[in-house]
Structure 1
Amino acid sequence: MADTDQLPGRILVVDDEVGMREFLAVCLGRAGHQVTTAKSGADALRILNDDEDNLGYDIVITDLTMPGIPGMEVLRHARERDTPPQVIMITAYATTDTAVEAMKLGAYDYLIKPFKVDEILVVVQRALERRALRSENRRLRDALDGVHTLDRMIGRSEAMQKVFDLVRRVAPTRTNVLIRGESGTGKELVARALHKLSDRAEGPFVPVNCGAIPEQLMESELFGHVKGAFTGAAADRRGVFEIAEGGTLFLDEIGELDVTMQVKLLRVLQERSIRPVGGSKELSVDCRVVAATNRDLEAAVESGEFRSDLYFRLDVVRVVLPPLRHRSEDIPLLAARFFDRFNREMKRNLDAIGPEALDWLLTYDYPGNVRELENLIERAVALESTSMLSAAHFPDRRPQTRTNDVVPERFPPEGLDLDAALADLERSLILAALDQAGGVRKRAAELLNISFRSMRYRLKKLGIEVGRGDDD
């Protein structure tokens, strides 16, 4: 009786010795496999080529030395098929050269006669597992086509299908769009898709990270300046509104703009004209504005940090990107795409993502969302030393902070200083992020889903000094 834990396979056995053919047919058949035998290399090629008889073999087990067509030719022919089977070479006359040649041609394994029943059964099972993994990865790659894609974004989840549908509907208009989502969810990809699906696709797409530009340079960055407008302005310089003429301007981290710049941006959106720093003339501009943020802008409006009139001007159509932890059915698709890309770019020639690695990826929380998944796959592909991507190079899981860990069971009689308690919690989280990021402030800000400018402000407010300044 076949072991219920084993994968059944369709196997072609090729050997000119009748005893070996019968031996393999019996032991493999008892293990639950469907076995066909061929008495020669020519017979094997006929079976593989015959459309009527071809069952789509999972494994070919072939003798190396046979009269007429040898096992190496059977191997070459089998590996040239559209969906090649795994090929196991067997021989009583082993040499290092032939073993190396067989493996270079794509053989899965190379066994020396005589071998034990258990030995061949184990090799067959491992070959079937590899073929199954390759088939699953091929299925995932095929699933990347069609309705599950939008430009460079992929997803089969209902949440992402709604995003794709909204983007397709709003892209042909010139309506302002506000993209909301946590850091790493792909807000710039949405903005690029809006641009490529619009009638402005032939124009430029200009991305600007509002949180990465110093406040004193922001006006010049957006609107440009004339020669002599300030110290260092040695020549006229166009701003991004002019550079994006006829195309799309993507203002990422829009919530980091200070109030003064918010007023000036609102005027540009209303008047469709700009005035370069130090200039005296208004210049008309024609570009679509798409903004994005990971902040709660409604709360920022309530607190007076963000102007309500600018908020409503930007938030005409809202696209909300779900975090990766809320669309786990998309993780295999994304992992397959990143695996294929890095496997190709690094010339690693790995076979597939192993089952334990996929299980790890499916149960991880992804605080950094799709960007973190991409980084995890890139690192694992670079470091993997076997033919299958394993979970060995994924990081140890860190315990998640729970509310009960920071909320006291009872308040003291004199009460609690809420501001001080929140400051202590903020300090602890920032220090933990800095520790995990090796002191790199920009990376720590990404772990906390805040902008680099916000991180610098909080460090200054809390009096936290860190030593690494190469991220400024």
Structure 2
Amino acid sequence: MTTQPKVLVIDDEPDIRELLTITLSRMDIAADTAADVAEAKAQLSKNKYNLCLTDMKLPDGNGIDIVHYIQQHSPSLPVALITAHGNMDIAIQAMKAGAFDFLNKPVDLASLRKLVATAIASSELPEEECDENTRIIGKSPAIQKLTGSIKKLARSQAPVYISGESGSGKELVARSIHELGPRSNKPFMPVNCGAIQKELMESELFGHKKGAFTGAVQDKQGIFQAAEGGTLFLDEVADLPLDMQVKLLRAIQEKAVRPVGAEAEISTDVRILCATHKNLEELVQKGDFRQDLFYRLNVIQLAVPPLRDRTDDVEVLAKHVLKKIIGPDETPPKLDKSAINALKQYSFPGNVRELENILERAYTLCEEDVIKDTDLQLSSSPKIESASSYTGTVNHYKQSQQYESLDDYLAEIEKEILSEVLEQVRWNKTLAAKKLGISFRSFRYRLSKLGLAKDWQDE
């Protein structure tokens, strides 16, 4: 027999306490109440709860005091705050302090029920999860720190901004946060903001009504609605046009979207995760990214380390990749010691994605199912520093002196550009050529010339 969930409701208004208690009882959830911070602490010290639901303004303190107290004494207990409508600064401050989520006044009971259900599911998650469940391969200190953060963030509903270089595994981190959290049985919807045509972006995100524009022959559900109850991962969010940034900000703040051509908004219940390989802070300073949207998305920032900062993981990662390449029923090729040493000394400007490409090529070239350093075809010269992580001015002459010839250096720059744009558009070669302003034929030739050609399918 399962134990009835129990919620602590904290509000100094008796009518609000009664309304919330009745709503919870109809969900078959028991409720205790408190009128101020002192009474709430007394209840928390002697009872076990699945959720704490607190008003922001209290006679002897505020909801953030409750959040801090619970973080110290019962960090796995979700806390949701009820804030004045439009007071996003307080809501963000609360989530940075560790709050699970927030609700705006006047409280929408349907939204309250969704929040309560998600929070209770979060409180019932096991305290410890296996490292394998994070999807992240490796045992280096950088990865142990990352997986620890993933497990902690999985229990929250706070928006997370995942930063990191192209190919470092940002989507894998987002999936791990989703799969370890209370929304794991709902959709995980990744969307590459840089790969959607500007004219179709609003329709793709929010949906449209039949007849809203030429070609809208039927109603279409947007990505927000498709992710209902789950997680929406906005990859390359820096590529959103400014007009769409405004609409995205409203959708996040109001927890509602308006399909193109619709008269009314539709409430949504999604967790927002976003990522980009670009420096959002710099884009905000330049005016290319809205500061208020950045503030709303960047409630918690999670940095994914580049592969060159986790060389201890290279060997186990390489073996994992080879198993994926050949399939579960085949015996993977062995990595010669010379190949392992070469991989550990390589700087991987394309990160894990580049490692996958290198090993796939090496697998086709190796003999007797043993991959040697010569099969990897790595440049013997040091790689140029990744443009996505470089904050100063590149001294191209100084960099070129590390290479045997100027042609080798320029080829390395071109290879990095092609790899990065392919990563941005999820390997759509037609779109990659368009972004670079060259013909598709020229793009394909460059891939072949630089050894990047692969049996990719054009989308």
Shorter-chain TM band:
0.5 to 0.7
The residue number in structure 2 matching 1:153 is: 136
The residue number in structure 2 matching 1:42 is: none
CA distance, structure 2, for counterparts of residue 161 and residue 305 of structure 1:
34
The residue number in structure 1 matching 2:351 is: 369
Alignment partner of 1:232 is 2:215: yes
> Could you list the runs of 5+ residues in structure 1 that have no partner in the other structure?
1-145, 409-427
CA distance, structure 2, for counterparts of residue 310 and residue 341 of structure 1:
38
CA distance, structure 2, for counterparts of residue 336 and residue 451 of structure 1:
24
CA distance, structure 2, for counterparts of residue 430 and residue 314 of structure 1:
38
Number of matched pairs? 301
One-letter amino acid of the counterpart of residue 297, structure 1: L
CA distance, structure 1, for counterparts of residue 166 and residue 142 of structure 2:
17
One-letter amino acid of the counterpart of residue 421, structure 2: A
> Could you list the runs of 5+ residues in structure 2 that have no partner in the other structure?
1-128, 386-393, 400-406, 445-457
CA distance, structure 2, for counterparts of residue 386 and residue 300 of structure 1:
50
The residue number in structure 2 matching 1:310 is: 293
Residue 159 (structure 1) shift: 1.2
Alignment partner of 1:200 is 2:183: yes
Residue 465 (structure 1) shift: 5.9
SS in 2 for 1:153: coil
Q: Which has the larger radius of gyration?
A: 1
SS in 2 for 1:154: coil
The residue number in structure 2 matching 1:255 is: 238
CA distance, structure 2, for counterparts of residue 448 and residue 280 of structure 1:
34
Q: 1:319 to 1:454 in 2, by over 3 A?
A: farther
Q: 1:336 to 1:267 in 2, by over 3 A?
A: same
Residues 358-403 of structure 1: CA deviation (Å, up to 9, x unaligned):
1111111111101111222222223322142222321240643485
Alignment partner of 1:170 is 2:161: no
The residue number in structure 2 matching 1:292 is: 275
Q: 1:217 to 1:458 in 2, by over 3 A?
A: closer
Identity over aligned pairs, percent: 41
Alignment partner of 1:275 is 2:258: yes
The residue number in structure 2 matching 1:7 is: none
> Which of 414, 418, 421 is residue 445 of structure 1 equivalent to?
421
SS in 2 for 1:334: helix
Native 8 Å contact 1:226 1:235 kept in 2: yes
Native 8 Å contact 1:430 1:444 kept in 2: no
CA distance, structure 1, for counterparts of residue 424 and residue 299 of structure 2:
28
Native 8 Å contact 2:307 2:348 kept in 1: yes
Q: 1:430 to 1:183 in 2, by over 3 A?
A: farther
Alignment partner of 1:354 is 2:336: yes
Alignment partner of 1:382 is 2:364: yes
Native 8 Å contact 2:138 2:316 kept in 1: yes
CA distance, structure 1, for counterparts of residue 368 and residue 192 of structure 2:
40
Native 8 Å contact 1:208 1:252 kept in 2: yes
One-letter amino acid of the counterpart of residue 406, structure 1: Y
SS in 2 for 1:291: strand
CA distance, structure 2, for counterparts of residue 449 and residue 364 of structure 1:
25
Q: 1:259 to 1:431 in 2, by over 3 A?
A: farther
Residue 203 (structure 1) shift: 0.5
The residue number in structure 1 matching 2:397 is: 406
The residue number in structure 2 matching 1:16 is: none
SS in 1 for 2:308: helix
Residues 241-278 of structure 1: CA deviation (Å, up to 9, x unaligned):
00000100110000000100000000001101100011
Residue 292 (structure 1) shift: 0.6
One-letter amino acid of the counterpart of residue 253, structure 2: Q
SS in 1 for 2:374: coil
One-letter amino acid of the counterpart of residue 362, structure 2: A
RMSD: 3.3
SS in 2 for 1:370: helix
CA distance, structure 1, for counterparts of residue 436 and residue 327 of structure 2:
41
SS in 2 for 1:290: strand
CA distance, structure 2, for counterparts of residue 404 and residue 308 of structure 1:
31
The residue number in structure 2 matching 1:9 is: none
TM-score normalized by the length of structure 2:
0.59
Q: 1:407 to 1:381 in 2, by over 3 A?
A: closer
Residues 8-44 of structure 1: CA deviation (Å, up to 9, x unaligned):
xxxxxxxxxxxxxxxxxxxxxxxxxxxxxxxxxxxxx
TM-score normalized by the length of structure 1:
0.58
CA distance, structure 1, for counterparts of residue 340 and residue 154 of structure 2:
35
Native 8 Å contact 1:246 1:287 kept in 2: yes
